[in-house]
Amino acid sequence: MKKKHLLSGKPINRKPIEADIRVTKLVDEYFQAYNAGRLREACQLFVEKMLQNDVTVGMSLTGALTPAGLGGSCIVPLIKAGFVDWIVSTGANLYHDIHFSIGHNLHRGTPFVDDRILRKEGVIRIYDILFDYKVLLSTDEFIREVLKQPEFQKEMSTAEFHYLLGKYVREREKVLGIKDMSILSAAYEYGVPVYVSSPGDSSIGMNISAMALNGYKIKIDITKDVNETAAIVYWAKSTGGKSAVLIFGGGSPKNFLLQTEPQIQEVLGIDEKGHDYFLQITDARPDTGGLSGATPSEAVSWGKVDPDKLPDAVVCYTDSTIAMPILTSYALAKRKPRKHKKLYYKINELVENLKNAHLKAVSKGKIKI
């Protein structure tokens, strides 16, 4: 690389920031270096490339985001705008988001409090968020009453389970006059499939298990989740479009989002190259083994990311609770809403397409089953 190219970036801006600056100008002109620079690149990648109409956007969620209000303030607006087409989340994020939908409040607090006192007073703490222990009991009771309904008495994917649960959550919001939807109710309204990669690892999963002990027939089939998520990505790519991943945190949801490509290529024997766009917000490091699923360049070796699209990959090392509101505000200001893909209603057709492609690969000897 020649000096002229190396010094082709915009000169560093030293102009004083004006009062009441718009977030778009703040990001574009003042997020210049270090992880502010990476967050600027993330915002620009999301808006300029990932939100093109032919791109299918999958989002993964880890960390206690919804107790901090990010479900209603950020994720729901992204769903409403058609900026997120499918989701993989921890069960906890979906569970804690339901608190708001059934009329409960969580409160700003402090992490510097004696937890023994909190236990005695019946107060739950999520770092600096505080709420009444009865909120958990009330939410559990609501979920169990919903799970008694006839449509839940069968085996299903987590996407179908969350769609059905979202219907009841949405109805409760309407009854209570709650205008701000939860993730599940918004996903229900707009046909966005929501998956949980570890369905037993949350209070929702715990309540499902309790209902099973009491003779109810509800059961989660994780194999459907694996095939459905792979089918979504295969459909996006095989129809001439692109696949993008928007990752908040790491953990199981991140890997579940990314493993769709190895499932297509390695396991099912279908020719594919990997996701086209990769955007991750994380505070973990790869050298300690803590950055689950590793960096985009390492993901190339697994077939998770298209090697030709590696320049369209950004990792920003910062707190999701900082980055998500900025990214959401930036995107809503810069892009018009997209038409909703409503993938939930197409999922059976997409799985059939995936199955046919797999059987074709088997018949050609590309994979042995």
Are 259 and 253 within 8 A, CB to CB?
A: no
Residue 27 CB partners (closer than 8 Å, separation 6+): 39, 40, 43, 326, 330
Are 68 and 129 within 8 A, CB to CB?
A: yes
**From CA 78, how far away is CA 330, in angstroms rounded?**
11
Q: Which of 224, 237, 304, 309 is catalytic?
A: 304
**Please, what is the angle between helix 183-190 and helix 158-176, to 10°?**
110
* Two tokens, residue 3: 């000096």
**From CA 23, how far away is CA 30, in angstroms rounded?**
10
Q: 174 catalytic, yes or no?
A: no
- 3-class secondary structure, 207: helix
Burial, 321: exposed, middle or buried (Cβ in 10 Å; 0-12, 13-18, 19+)?
A: middle
C-alpha dist (Å) from residue 89 to 140, 154, 278, 287, 344: 19, 22, 17, 25, 16
HEC secondary structure over 105-147: CCEECCCCCCHHHHHHHCEEEECCEEEEHHHHHHHHHHHHHHH
Positions marked catalytic? 304
